[in-house]
Structure 1
């Protein structure tokens, strides 16, 4: 594996641990981009993260977009540097003179980006940008680095938070800690314990169609509805953008399945009033019961597989992991890898992020799926993987493929 692909793999692993991508805007990060604009007197500032196929803005000031294609992104260059990347005039820099972001919107003439380094790898950048060329002094570079260091501190504090600020559910880290505590108690005292994952179906479409403010409202209302059904002793935590974990202590799998079915029906019955009108959503659930000696991480993995089975079987349903019947468990496993799609004998390529993978199929995220043909090749350089694919499902920004 090349150093570049190795860094890609490490960056995606760190981003997965941070659980920052596709999360709602947060005041602490919005303040940083606002400060960048004021301090440096520039029209645009972003806090940017790079995954397999795009640059995604956790905070953005002065631009309407929340994401863009990775390849032309200036931040895609900045994450490869150990020091801030300063481009006083893009027209005079051969790396960027022909860049689509220079000659098209937002017509960049100046760029300054400080890398965000966590765990020995650059995961993103804090950027100041202008439509006019300008100088950037050593003093200003130092200020940008200080602001980037604050962004890193905020990211780490966010990861340590006990509660998700939007929904009030436990944070990912707190949920895993509480889940392990309850697992240990079940092991010690011989109690029943069931773990489940809940994933809101087609949530990206909600954000794309109605905006992130409505998406945030949907998340809050779903958690509120679930809490009304769950017992005080039950635990719910936010694991990802629209994915939640649930732990049901002193509940057999059969008892838990009845509770989860009630949760599913409750979510499906919600009519969420928003400025865009009433919104209705459904959710898919995967469940697993505790077996002696089973780590909590294994329970989460198996609940995740069962949840994917619910997705694959049509969504809006509850499926349990059954050890004795592997055919009931899906083959797709959740991954987070940088990939590349190639067609026209390799003359046309698109970057993608591989989100699920098995021996026979995969799910991929892209900036747009509009120009994608029915057949192409998928490569995952970090794994030395290359397979011919046939498209089996398509939405605006995600496709599902079968290997041929």
Structure 2
């Protein structure tokens, strides 16, 4: 691990702006959530009614998590906002780790650094250390945000610990994924796939009240701490085991594999490109197919979750007046109001796909592949137009998936 200090300094230098914005955004979500929910459920009676109704809504539990400690504003915030935001924390760690390990290796930068200052494991250990610092920062910020909004301090601390555990587990999973495949898109696909399976197992476990399914998921293990409920600290141990095991296995693979390759080598593609792939539009679409598949699968799962939850809205409308008033702001009919609110949230989520595809133009330029296209017959303006057109079409298609 010679040069790890230099590697850590370099990682911080390259990522501190984005990391600061992301951490501040996560903490702001917690604080805004607890303030908003305090206004919706101002009295103890409203919160008790909310807890009684939510306890019987399996679809809501599958979408959000275990309904524990809902008689307090901290528990309601954790249930309504907290576990969704921790999903974003997991994604943040995946992007952070893959971007600074597999992507740097694929671009040839890591080879340059290893030829001089860095030993084999210096960069990976430094990236892991940076991810740990960011997760602890987010955990502390989430704790103080919940306390500042009126949450009970012990529950806020427990939720902060759960947030840190989720972030570190998926940082370790992303580090392992970066050793398995030789392309950054493959690493993103593996890590995000694990996150999706973890969410599905947790959702099935909460919907069916099955501990075996719930605890088979890293997300379910972290949620089993039960902030604002009967706090349990035993899930910390298996979460740490997952993190440490993932890191050690990843480092072991990195010591033995060839530089620039992965543990699993993808099969070669066709010897000749098809008619459509030989066109610039076809090439752009082929390069973005993994991103499109991941986002489409995500929208299907989220759309099904909100759609199933809409069946319970009739029961929710008989509960606290605050929730009924919130839904009726969108429409006179409560179910339509819930679906309007859900569609709005999912429509905002589809912008992530549009951003990812548009940003792919920069990735192609940095990797040198855009130079090859522009050195031939492709006009310079055509490449960004193709990416923007694909982003627009993708947003429309994903909106259609959400509607279905």
The structure with the largest strand share of the pair is 1
Structure with the larger RCO, 1 or 2 (CA within 8 Å, 6+ apart): 2
TM-score clears 0.5: no
TM-score (norm 1): 0.25
